[in-house]
Amino acid sequence: MKVLNLGSLNLDYVYSVDHMVLPGETLSSYGMETFCGGKGLNQSIALARAGAEVYHAGLVGDGGEILIDTCREAGVHTDFIQKLEGPCGHTIIQVDKNGQNCILLYGGSNQKMTKEYIDTVLGHFDKGDILLLQNEVNLVDYMIDQAYAKQMMIILNPSPYNSALDTCDYSKVSMFLMNEIEGAQVTGEQEPEGILQELSKRYPTVKTVLTLGGDGAVYQDGDSICRQAIFPVKAVDTTAAGDTFTGYFITSIIEKMEPSEGLKLAAKASSIAVSRAGAAASIPARAEVMV
Ligand code: RIB
């Protein structure tokens, strides 16, 4: 079972700040670093470091070669990644003294997907392969429709949530992986129980992993629910913690682990990511994730 991740690749410009800049405020940062990131890239690297065979497809712009190199060095298949002229996808990330972040995203090359490119890439995958999607690229609705027609298993991380997702046919998705904010945006419900109930009512065949920050994570498959607490650590930088969780949980599916074991593996991996700076750079290797 191969994984195709049709997703974003970003240059993350990360600024260390005392607090998140306020409206109208000019704030001096006390450090700046550039990291490789993007929800797509991070999730591909998490899959590869967890031991899965993953193919990343996506578009990089000016200065994006380092993103391809970083994927390749992590063991991700990069042959489908294309280079374009023009601005690369990038972010401005503030990380405060508690390790919390806020992210300003510029789509750039990530928003230049075409139907022709998607069709060409999907032509290399078959029934039963996994298609992993986030919402930092355009044409996610088309990707879902085409992959469903091929009987691929579609796993959607609807992040960041915005109106581009409104045209997606979620009933074609096999599994949602989302945090409670995205869960609230998708369902209109605020509490985790309400989010899970609403997802189950609207999309009865879709499995869900809902991450709850400090309250852990929940897996729902029909009437069956299992929960996992976090592994507490001192937070240095929460960037890519969710992406690490996603990559490790999908690897547990490929390895046919029980959902409870998959949640535990993913929670442990993301706790390690939280304890380190950066996005892709913070994602642990499988050997470090002893559960
Ligand atoms: O999920 C973390 C990622 O979100 C960062 O690497 C940043 O690029 C944004 O896309």
Ligand 1 geometric centre to CA of 132 (Å)? 16
Position 134 scores a pLDDT of 98
Q: Percent of the chain having pLDDT more than 90?
A: 96
Query: pLDDT, tens digit, for every residue of 265-279?
Result: 999 999 999 999 989
**Structure-derived torsion over alpha carbons of residues 64, 147, 205, 222, reported in degrees to the nearest 10:** -40
Per-residue pLDDT tens over the stretch 64-84: 999 999 999 999 999 999 999
CA 232 remoteness from chain centre: 21
| 41 CA: nearest ligand 1 atom | 6
User: What's the CA-to-centroid distance between 55 and ligand 1, angstroms?
Assistant: 19
> Is 243 near ligand 1, meaning CB less than 6 Å away?
yes
pLDDT greater than 80 at residue 290: no
Would the CB of 182 count as within 6 Å of ligand 1?
A: no
Q: Please give the Cα distance from 225 to 244 (Å, whole number).
A: 22
Q: Is the CB of 136 under 6 A from ligand 1?
A: yes
Residue nearest to atom 6 of ligand 1 (CA): 37
**Ligand 1 pocket member 105 (CB < 6 A):** yes
Give per-residue pLDDT as tens, 91-127: 999 999 988 899 999 999 999 999 999 999 999 999 9
Determine the residue of 41, 44, 56, 103 to mutate for testing ligand 1's pocket, defined as the one with the most ligand atoms within 8 A of the Cβ atom: 103
Q: Is the peptide bond before 23 cis (omega within 30 degrees of 0)?
A: no
- Using DSSP, state whether 178 is helix, strand or coil: strand
- The enclosing H or E element of 170 equals none
pLDDT tens profile 11-44:
999 999 999 999 999 999 999 999 999 999 999 9
Q: What share of the chain is helix, strand, coil (3-state, %, to 5)?
A: 35, 25, 40
Residues 6+ apart with CB under 8 A from 77: 53, 54, 55, 56
- Mean pLDDT over 173-183 rounds to 97
What is the predicted pLDDT for the residue at 1?
A: 85
Instruction: Look up the pTM and report it.
Output: 0.96
Q: What is the pLDDT of residue 291?
A: 58
Mutate to test the pocket of ligand 1, among 93, 100, 283 (most ligand atoms within 8 A of CB): 93
Q: If 0-12 CB within 10 Å is exposed, 13-18 middle and 19+ buried, where does residue 117 land?
A: middle
Q: What pairs with residue 83 in β-bridges?
A: 60
Ligand 1 atom closest to 91 (CA): 8
* pLDDT one-digit tens code per residue, 130-153: 999 999 999 999 999 999 999 999
